[in-house]
């Protein structure tokens, strides 16, 4: 069971975090998602492809909860622009170690926001001829969607607010927080959205 989260350990002056999803709730949901994925592919070796760095914790838990053969790999992308915005321009900064041709691939992403990142990745991966190509996201913010993309497995649908924790960062901080919370700024500090 994940420990209770004390926000004071993570926030900097001028920042406030309101917990949206507790660590325990996230773990429960990831277990359910893992079971659903295995049910859809009872006999296949599942190849999880995590998008760095946000998906690292989600992938680690998902991989441990899916019974049977699982392998994984990571890819990294960068989207140009401000740290709390997705600008729409996506670029591969680290490719996979091995081929996905003929494999049952689950793309694992922290959050589906505008959809630009995932629509770019799905286009790239589709060209590599996997046997199956599915998408698992921990969080979905449907209000901000620009690209026509949907996840096959979604942990939680959340409102249009800037969230941190469980892999998600603000200026590279908060990734190690075991819960997910809404970040706000109490002073004149930069706004998240
Ligand atoms: P998309 O391309 O707009 O769907 O953006 C997805 C990426 O934007 C995620 O992988 C995150 O890195 C980042 N992102 C989107 N929303 C948030 C948020 O609320 N908090 C932290 N990062 C976010
Ligand atoms: Mg990300």
Retrieve residue 142's tokens. Answer: 């449907």
Residue 125 to residue 51: CA distance in whole angstroms: 13
Cα–ligand 2 centroid distance for 161 (angstroms): 15
For residue 122, CA distances in Å to 90, 99, 105, 109 come to: 12, 15, 11, 12
Mutate which of 115, 151, 168, 176 for ligand 1? The one with the most ligand atoms within 8 Å of its CB, which is 168
What pLDDT, on a 0 to 100 scale, did the predictor assign at position 2? 55
Could you say which ligand is closest to the alpha carbon of residue 161? 1
For the entire predicted model, the pTM comes to 0.92
Positions in the chain short of pLDDT 50: 82-83
Q: What is the mean pLDDT of the chain?
A: 92
> Relative to the alpha carbon of 168, which ligand is closest?
1
pLDDT per residue as tens digits for the range 57-87: 999 999 999 999 999 999 999 886 544 555 5
Cβ of residue 54 lying under 6 Å from some atom of ligand 1: yes
How far apart are alpha carbons 15 and 38 in whole angstroms?
A: 40
Look at residue 8 in the predicted model and tell me its pLDDT. 75
Q: Is the CB of 112 under 6 A from ligand 1?
A: yes
Say what the pLDDT of residue 80 is.
67
pLDDT of amino acid 82: 47
Q: What is the pLDDT of residue 159?
A: 97
pLDDT value for 85:
55
Name the DSSP class of 160. Answer: S
Of ligand 1's listed atoms, the one at least distance from the Cα of 109 is 10
Active site residue ranges: 113
């Amino acid at each position: 069971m994940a420990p209770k989260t004390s926000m004071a350990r993570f926030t900097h002056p001028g920042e406030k975090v309101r917990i949206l999803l507790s660590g325990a709730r996230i773990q429960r949901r990831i277990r359910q998602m893992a079971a659903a994925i295995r049910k859809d592919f009872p006999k296949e070796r599942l190849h999880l492809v995590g998008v760095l760095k946000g998906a690292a914790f989600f992938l680690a838990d998902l991989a441990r909860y899916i019974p049977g053969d699982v392998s994984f790999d990571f890819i990294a992308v960068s989207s140009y622009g401000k740290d709390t915005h997705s600008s729409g321009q996506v670029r591969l900064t680290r490719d996979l170690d091995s081929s996905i041709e003929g494999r049952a691939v689950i793309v694992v992403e922290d959050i589906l926001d505008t959809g630009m990142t995932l629509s770019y990745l799905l286009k790239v991966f589709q060209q590599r001829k996997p046997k199956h190509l599915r998408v698992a996201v921990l969080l979905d913010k449907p209000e901000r969607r620009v690209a026509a993309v949907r996840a096959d497995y979604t942990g939680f649908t959340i409102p249009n607010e800037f969230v941190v924790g469980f892999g998600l960062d603000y200026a590279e901080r908060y990734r190690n927080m075991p819960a997910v919370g809404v970040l706000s700024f109490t002073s004149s500090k930069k706004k998240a959205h």
